[in-house]
Amino acid sequence: MGGFSAASAAERCAVGIHASPSSPASRPRSQLQEQPAPPVRRGSRRLAAPLAVSRRSILVPRAVAASTDRASPEVVGRFNLESNSELQVTLNPAPQGAIAEINLEATNTSGSLVLHWGALRPDRGEWLLLSRRPDGTTTFKNQALRTPFVKSGDNSTLIVEIDDPAVQAIEFLLFDEARNKCTLLWTEDLVQIQSYLRWERSGKQSYTPDQEKVEYEAARAELIEELNRGVPLGKLRARLTKTPESSERDAPASQTTTTKVPEELVQVQSYIRWEKAGKPNYSPEKQLVEFEEARKELQAELDKGTSIDQLRKKILKGNIEKKVSKQLENKKYFSVERIQRRNRDITQLLNKHKPGVTKEQVQAAPKQPTVLDLFTKSLQEGDDCDVLSRKLFKFGDKEILAIATKALGKTRVHLATNDLDPLILHWALAKKAGEWEAPPSSIAPSGSTLLEKACATSFVESELDGLQYQVVEIELDDDGYKGMPFVLRRGETWIKNSDSDFYLDFKTKVTKKANAIDTGDAGKGTAKAFLERIADLEEDAQRSFMHRFNIAADLVDQARDAGLLGIVGLFVWIRFMSTRQLIWNKNYNVKPREISKAQDRFTDDLENMYKSYPQYREILRMILSAVGRGGEGDVGQRIRDEILVIQRNNDCKGGMMEEWHQKLHNNTSPDDVVICQAIIDYIKSDFDISVYWDTLNKNGINKERLLSYDRAIHSEPKFRSDQKEGLLRDLGNYMRSLKAVHSGADLESAIATCMGYKSEGEGFMVGVQINPVKGLSSGFPELLQFVLDHVEDKSAEPLLEGLLEARVELRPLLIESSERLKDLIFLDIALDSTFRTAVERSYEELNDAAPEKIMYFIGLVLENLALSTDDNEDILYCLKGWNQAMEMVKRKDDQWALYAKACLDRTRLALASKGEQYYNMMQPSAEYLGSLLNVDEWAVDIFTEEIIRGGSAATLSALLNRFDPVLRNVAHLGSWQVISPVEVTGYVVVVDKLLSVQNKSYDKPTILVAKSVKGEEEIPDGVVGVITPDMPDVLSHVSVRARNCKVLFATCFDPNTLSELQGHEGKVFSFKTTSADVTYREITESELMQSSSANAQAGEAIPSLSLVKKKFLGKYAISAEDFTEEMVGAKSRNIAYLKGKVPSWVGIPTSVAIPFGTFEKVLSDDTNKEVAQNIQMLKGRLAQDDFSALGEMRKTVLDLTAPAQLVTELKEKMLSSGMPWPGDESDQRWEQAWMAIKKVWASKWNERAYFSTRKVKLDHDYLSMAVLVQEIVNADYAFVIHTTNPSSGDSSEIYAEVVKGLGETLVGAYPGRAMSFVCKKDDLDSPKVLGYPSKPIGLFIKRSIIFRSDSNGEDLEGYAGAGLYDSVPMDEEDQVVLDYTSDTLITDSGFRSSIFSSIARAGHAIEELYGSPQDVEGAVKDGKIYVVQTRPQM
């Protein structure tokens, strides 16, 4: 309702003259206490009675009389008035013909209490004003009697005598004359309704608690005024509740005595109604209506002749009484209970198992080929040899390979085996399936024996590469044969293919692998040999699920040995199976228990790997989810037995049910779960056959699939109405057996397996006893029951909390090698699946939700994702960030939306990283195995996409997309961030990655819409604008390059806008910008020509620049005082210039340099002749535009040997400058330093740098590379300053970006945004945060040396060459996943302001020193500012 938190109502009091079990007034005190008191509006000055549940209804419950011979007094009611005041009503029943007494005693009251009352008779609808009245009684407007209480000490008493035997009850209210206040025991419901009507009339405005109080009392006053005007109570109630005055409640009591609905049943019925509605949140007014609707429904049943006992039996099913009593106990109606989540440190959920793919795994040669591999290869290498068909069979631990080939016009059959025992091939030919026809003698191999319908041929021993095998080769006469059946005989033992003959089909479609053992890129990034092994076994696997799961179990060890890619290959195969891309059954009958036994064997092997290889758990969960649980013995047999029970119990032995029965007996499959559900839905819909087909079709089953089964289902279900109840009961029980075998993610069966089965239902689960899993916490069963009770709730939040709490409780057992681990894994899979479904169901609930609720949901989904992820550190820190954002909202921090936007951006990066990991890990295997198995191309193309879409990551992405515009609106961010504001016109071109087109030249002005921009790319020639959803740093290389080249560069946050622009590909558009927004419109090509002058500067290559060739001036190393233009680049000179000139609180690191010409000098040394020759050769290839030489060039530079003089001079300069010499630690440490120096030199041939110099027509040979050597500042933070705001061009404003750790994450292509701020130069103490950080990774390093590139081509006027070449630390940085919630820069605004102000002051001081805008890089360590380089701002 929004305006009121007011509660449900108390009732007026009715006291029966004779005791009656059905009367609320006659209930014992204990019964009244079991019922919850209706909540009342707190803070109001009124009295209220906590009566029974029936008091909540709109119609007043009638207390009626029943004949009795008892004459002893009985307390028939106690009613709370105010605080410590209570009214007790005692009835002294009237013997036949005598006077009945009603004693009323009110404790702790004033002396002005009045009883407002009347009597009830069955022949009257209104109050009867009795002639026998207590002293002092007056008549009130001829409609009621008013009798004063007698004051006695602190209490007030009154005795009412009834001498009319027809009177069955009195009804009353209390009135305090001194306070002019009614103690409305009966009208709290009416006050509530009246207050609601007032609130509606006022426009449903939000009220403060004080306003609520005033409104509530105003509603009470209005009702009292109406009563005082003489409006009858019945009319007042009828008007407010819109019920007839002559309702059941106002009828004579005698007419309702035998048909009154017990109040406890009204409570149950109202709960059932609420549960069916999905447990929505009801306002107090709606609660009143629901109680009355429940009462009406039950009363209608009674009016039809249903007895109370029948009614009770009908609605009190299952644990409904327990559910209702729990609500009564908590005194909350129509409210979803919530579990109390335990407070935990989120980092306890940390997993750091990274399922990485090593280079060796990807590139390793297949295992040593078997003799059968060699045999296959020998055939395929033959001249013009085409493989017609190929089949590998297993028998025991041996194999036999059958291949039909055609070479030189001859068809041959080759059978080779690694079984070296004497074997005889018993074979024939077939022109149709199942036929055995003896071959003509002309084709029988030498030594064969012809039989009546077959031929016996001995295998001949042979050898390949020292490996022994046996072979038979048969040349056919091409007489229309379709295939070759055969069996083997070893001594007296006949060997068959399980229970069938071996059979080589000559017409089998050959996989794409045939005749092409290795096609270069085919299978790259996969466990290729393992996937080919799967392909060899697929035909055998198609016979039945039993065969497939047994083969899968045999492959588990091989998959494990192949590493992550082997496990992925196994998953891809099983996934193809589960999505019906592979044949499930081919002419093979198998018992359900044999399928479940094979499933059990396979899943047992997966369980064992799960225990021993935590880095594979995420993929193993996916495999288990696709397979199903399986089980030994009767688990599968129940499928076969229980369908017979259904048919017998429900007289449905023919038609569709018999066809389904035959399928189940022949070969049960996961389709049976869907078929069972479709039948249940059909019955529940009152036999609407369209519902049956709708359920089937939604789950991928159509009529053709039903007909494709070996035991086809032709008919539709058809039942009688009298079969409905029994079928629903029995099919519901049967579904449990089906899901126990086939469903890996079914919640109910997973819970039942872990909590223990009980025998239920006649003929179902007979004799089944599965004990609960040991080790579960004492409250875990109750937690799972909570989940089951709320799994269909419309309001998903309590369910989600319960699911997560269950998963967290389960987690320790999943990590340990617990007993029955497999059952626990399946339970966790089911909880995860149910969670995702519930979140998707709650989208509508979030449409108008407050930001806090959306953030809370995002946090829940993140936690669920973390629980399903092997390497979840980044996800957990995202979760901590969202929790911190919610805390900021609670304390009304005006930065909360800006901070939450950074959390959102980081979460998106985490999801993108996860998606990329999945794609790189799975898609190559899906493509290669899909090609081997001839899987539909569309299914292969979307393989990884479907995996991602079915997981929590997709659910989370949808939530983020909903929340992003909300945050941008609150934080006033708009839909754009303009990085380089330029007005441009051009043709729209859509590309996936800017990187993929950075070396391309466009021949007309082009505006790229690029889905991916990392930050290190070049702007292609001819491009005048780049629009992207990516978020490169404002100071990244590509951002600087865009501003330098006068190219529009902007991030678009609105996916709809981006999609619109992508839809305009090829059209001509004009873009205009401000510092915070972009507008665009389509224009004609003629307008483009007219505006071409506006593009003259934009996107054009910078005019040709020249470089001066640098020479070696005789020194291998120099100190800072020798930094001159002839010796080093601007980077070194600037750092030397700053020394002693910047304020003393700004640190400048000590530096030495390896000057220009040193590389060329080292290359000319005699020890490096071979390297020099190779580089000269590679330069020749580059001159011919063979750009593959660039990578080889970089590798070749790393082969250089350091001249002794270089080592000596560099050591001397470093030590004299106070820097440590790496070689003093060890020779190996010097080698590390030398390798770093060579990597800096090699970066001259980086692709990006090379093409950038070509673009501006710089002579690459003239590019010289000095190396600036500095001791690394082990930074807490690194920063880059632009002393003129680059986005707006405002020279009065400093712009800076800050990252945690080393600055490489800021200037390199590391994903995410840095923290950014601006600061006015005339107010350096007031920095303003523009954005919080979203970079997930920080780089940290111990004390070390960094070797920085310092070329003569980096800081040319009009050309931003900075960042093109590498700076290389001697030691590798540690990559740390960042937790910003513990970062003082984020959490302490005072510290943040101090650091940002100091950074801004340093930048301003350096700008004043140079007299021009500067691009400054620096670091913060223990609060001190260090500047490591500066250059003119481009």
Residue at 1429: amino acid letter: Q
Q: Are strands 1048-1052 and 1068-1073 parallel, antiparallel or unpaired?
A: unpaired
- The alpha carbon torsion through 870, 876, 877, 882 (nearest 10 deg) reads 150
Spell out the long-range contacts of 245-250 with Cβ–Cβ below 8 A and sequence spacing 24 or more. 245/125, 246/125, 247/59, 248/59, 248/299, 249/59, 249/60, 249/61, 249/62, 250/125, 250/126
Side-chain-side CA neighbours of 1343 within 13 Å: the count stands at: 5
Residue 430: strand pairing partners: 483
> Dihedral sign, CA of 274, 760, 607, 927?
negative
| SS3 per residue for 1152-1175 | EEECCCHHHHHHCCHHHHHHHHHH
Report how far residue 1329's alpha carbon sits from residue 405's, in angstroms, rounded to the nearest whole number.
73
| Residues 6+ away with beta carbon under 8 Å from 1226 | none
What's the helix, strand, coil split of the chain in %, to 5? 45, 20, 40
Please confirm, yes or no, whether 1037 is among the known catalytic residues: yes
Contact (Cβ atoms closer than 8 angstroms) between residue 1068 and residue 1084: yes
Residue at 776: amino acid letter: L
Three-state secondary structure call for residue 62:
coil
Residue at 517: amino acid letter: I
| Residues 6+ away with beta carbon under 8 Å from 1247 | 999, 1187, 1190
**Among the listed residues 896, 816, 935, the one whose alpha carbon sits nearest the alpha carbon of residue 1386:** 896
Three-state secondary structure call for residue 113:
strand
Three-state secondary structure call for residue 1019:
coil
Report how far residue 210's alpha carbon sits from residue 195's, in angstroms, rounded to the nearest whole number.
14
Q: Which two tokens stand for residue 1334?
A: 């979203």
Report how far residue 1's alpha carbon sits from residue 221's, in angstroms, rounded to the nearest whole number.
22
Contact (Cβ atoms closer than 8 angstroms) between residue 1281 and residue 1418: yes
- The alpha carbon torsion through 530, 531, 536, 541 (nearest 10 deg) reads 100
Report how far residue 864's alpha carbon sits from residue 286's, in angstroms, rounded to the nearest whole number.
35
Exposed/middle/buried for residue 561 (C-beta within 10 Å: 0-12, 13-18, 19+): exposed
Report how far residue 981's alpha carbon sits from residue 1075's, in angstroms, rounded to the nearest whole number.
6
The Cβ of residue 512 has, within 10 Å, a number of other Cβ atoms equal to 16
List, in sequence order, every beta strand (DSSP E) within 1094-1238: 1118-1119, 1146-1147, 1151-1154
**Among the listed residues 128, 238, 110, the one whose alpha carbon sits nearest the alpha carbon of residue 172:** 128
Q: Which of 18, 1037, 1282, 1404 is catalytic?
A: 1037
Backbone angles phi, psi at 1010, to 5 degrees: -105, 125
**Among the listed residues 839, 832, 830, 834, the one whose alpha carbon sits nearest the alpha carbon of residue 795:** 839
Residue at 750: amino acid letter: A
Spell out the long-range contacts of 402-411 with Cβ–Cβ below 8 A and sequence spacing 24 or more. 402/484, 402/486, 402/502, 402/504, 403/376, 403/379, 404/484, 404/504, 404/506, 405/379, 407/382, 407/383, 408/383, 408/384, 410/475, 411/475, 411/476, 411/478, 411/506
Which ranges of 613-651 would DSSP assign to H, the alpha helix?
617-627, 634-650
Catalytic residues: 1037
